[in-house]
C-alpha cells in the first residue's frame, strides 16, 4: 500500500504517550503536601475518585473515569459537586454497557478542553451513542465514541483476549500482537504501557462500535508489511513513514474548530506532518 493510497483510504492508529500510559494520576492538593484523588472527568485511580464522585467503568470511554450520578437529563450538573467543573446530565440508551441512570459528562467547547482531563477523550460533540445523537443540539460533552459498543475491560489489567468470542474478528488478535511488537521495537509505544493494554487499544481502534473497520485493518497491516520488509535495513523504524504515512502520537491538534475535518480527527489521520504531530 502506498502512502498516497493509505492517506486517501484509511485511518491511522493513535499512539499518544500520555494515553498509552493510561494516565490516571491525581493532582496536588491546595497545600501541595499530598496527592488528591482524581476529579471529575479524570481517570480513576484504583477505583477511587474525589469526594462525592463515583468511578464509572463503561463503554462511554476506554478507561474508568470519575463522574456523578444525576437525574435531570439534558440539564447542567451542579458544578459545586463536580469540584467547580461544568457538566451535563446525560443518559445512555437501554442495553448499553454502563449505568442505567443518568450521569454527568464534562461539557466543552472543543476537544482541547477535554484532553487535559485525559488524553483518551476523543471528541467534543453533542451527546451521542454509536454516532446517533441522543437529544439534538443541547451543548457538547467530552466523549470517546470509539468505545461505544465495545466490551468493558478492566483498564488496569487489560485482560481482554478471552472476552472476544466473535469469530469474525479473532484474526485481529494476531494483527494487534504483531503491531504492538512493531511499536515496541521502534520505541513508539510508551514504555509504561503493558503489552495487553497496547493490544487492547489496537483492537478497539480496529473494531469501532464492535465492528471490523477494513480500512483501519489495512492501514495497520501496511505498517507491519513495511516493518517486515525492512527488517534487515537500518531504516526499519522510519521506512513505514514513506510506505504508509506517519503515525500520530498526538491527537490534541485535531480540534473541532481547526482545519481538520471531524472524520479525520476521529480517525487520528496525519496529513503531511512529522511523526510527532497531527495537524
All residues at 6 or more sequence positions from 256 whose CB lies less than 8 Å from its CB, including other chains:
109, 110, 111, 123, 124, 125, 262, 265
Q: How far apart are CA 199 and CA 177, in angstroms?
A: 6
User: What's the CA angle centered on 65, arms 59 and 70, to 5 degrees?
Assistant: 85
The model's confidence at residue 147, banded by pLDDT at 50, 70 and 90, is: confident
pLDDT at 250 over 70: no
Q: What is the pLDDT of residue 246?
A: 73
Q: What is the pLDDT of residue 9?
A: 30
Q: What is the pLDDT of residue 27?
A: 41
**Span 244-263, mean pLDDT?**
47
- Tell me how crowded residue 200 is: count the other CB atoms within 10 A of its CB: 27
Q: What is the pLDDT of residue 221?
A: 94
Burial 263-274 (b: 16+ CB within 10 A, else e): ebbbbbbbeeee
All residues at 6 or more sequence positions from 273 whose CB lies less than 8 Å from its CB, including other chains:
246, 279
- Tell me how crowded residue 5 is: count the other CB atoms within 10 A of its CB: 13
pLDDT in tens, 269-279: 333 233 333 33
Q: What is the pLDDT of residue 87?
A: 97
Where is mean pLDDT largest: 2-16, 214-228, 260-274? 214-228
The model's confidence at residue 187, banded by pLDDT at 50, 70 and 90, is: confident
The model's confidence at residue 45, banded by pLDDT at 50, 70 and 90, is: confident
pLDDT at 72 over 90: yes
Cell matching residue 104: 454527568
Looking at per-residue pLDDT, the higher value among 213 and 19 belongs to 213
Question: Which residue do the cell numbers 461544568 mark?
Answer: 86
Where is mean pLDDT largest: 91-95, 208-212, 225-229? 225-229
Q: What is the pLDDT of residue 248?
A: 57
**Span 110-129, mean pLDDT?**
92
pLDDT at 89 over 80: yes
Query: What average pLDDT does the structure give for the chain?
Result: 77
Q: What is the pLDDT of residue 208?
A: 77
The model's confidence at residue 262, banded by pLDDT at 50, 70 and 90, is: very low
- Helices in 10-53 by DSSP H: which ranges? 17-20
Cell matching residue 222: 501496511
Q: How far apart are CA 107 and CA 266, in angstroms?
A: 18
**Span 16-31, mean pLDDT?**
36
Q: How far apart are CA 68 and CA 170, in angstroms?
A: 36
Residue 276 burial by Cβ neighbours in a 10 Å radius (0-12, 13-18, 19+): exposed
- Give the helix/strand (H/E) hosting 214: helix 214-229
**Span 167-176, mean pLDDT?**
93
pTM: 0.56
The model's confidence at residue 35, banded by pLDDT at 50, 70 and 90, is: low
Length, in residues, of the chain? 279
**Span 245-254, mean pLDDT?**
52
Q: What is the pLDDT of residue 83?
A: 92
pLDDT in tens, 210-221: 789 999 899 999
Amino acid at each position: 500500500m502506498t502512502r498516497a493510497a493509505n492517506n486517501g483510504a484509511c485511518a491511522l492508529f493513535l499512539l499518544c504517550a500520555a494515553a498509552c500510559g493510561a494516565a490516571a494520576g491525581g493532582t496536588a492538593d491546595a497545600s501541595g503536601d499530598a496527592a488528591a484523588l482524581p476529579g471529575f472527568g479524570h481517570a480513576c485511580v484504583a477505583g477511587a475518585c474525589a469526594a462525592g464522585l463515583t468511578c464509572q467503568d463503561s463503554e462511554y470511554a476506554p478507561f474508568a473515569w470519575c463522574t456523578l450520578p444525576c437525574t435531570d437529563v439534558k440539564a447542567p450538573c451542579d458544578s459545586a459537586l463536580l469540584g467547580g467543573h461544568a457538566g451535563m446530565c446525560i443518559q445512555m440508551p437501554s442495553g448499553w454497557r454502563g449505568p442505567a441512570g443518568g450521569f454527568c459528562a464534562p461539557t466543552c467547547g472543543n476537544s482541547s478542553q477535554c484532553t487535559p482531563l485525559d488524553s483518551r477523550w476523543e471528541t467534543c460533540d453533542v451527546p451521542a451513542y454509536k454516532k446517533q445523537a441522543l437529544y439534538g443540539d443541547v451543548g457538547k460533552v467530552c466523549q470517546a465514541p470509539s468505545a461505544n459498543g465495545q466490551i468493558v475491560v478492566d483498564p488496569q489489567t487489560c485482560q481482554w483476549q478471552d472476552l472476544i468470542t466473535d469469530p469474525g474478528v479473532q484474526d485481529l488478535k494476531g494483527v494487534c500482537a504483531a503491531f504492538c511488537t512493531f511499536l515496541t521495537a521502534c520505541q513508539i509505544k510508551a514504555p509504561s504501557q503493558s503489552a495487553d493494554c497496547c493490544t487492547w487499544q489496537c483492537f478497539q481502534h480496529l473494531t469501532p462500535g464492535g465492528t471490523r473497520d477494513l480500512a483501519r485493518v489495512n492501514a495497520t497491516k501496511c505498517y507491519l508489511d513495511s516493518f517486515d520488509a525492512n527488517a534487515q535495513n537500518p531504516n526499519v523504524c522510519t521506512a513505514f513513514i514513506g510506505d504508509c504515512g506517519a503515525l500520530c502520537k498526538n491527537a490534541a491538534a485535531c480540534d473541532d474548530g481547526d482545519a481538520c475535518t471531524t472524520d479525520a480527527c476521529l480517525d487520528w489521520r496525519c496529513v503531511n506532518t512529522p511523526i510527532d504531530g497531527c495537524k
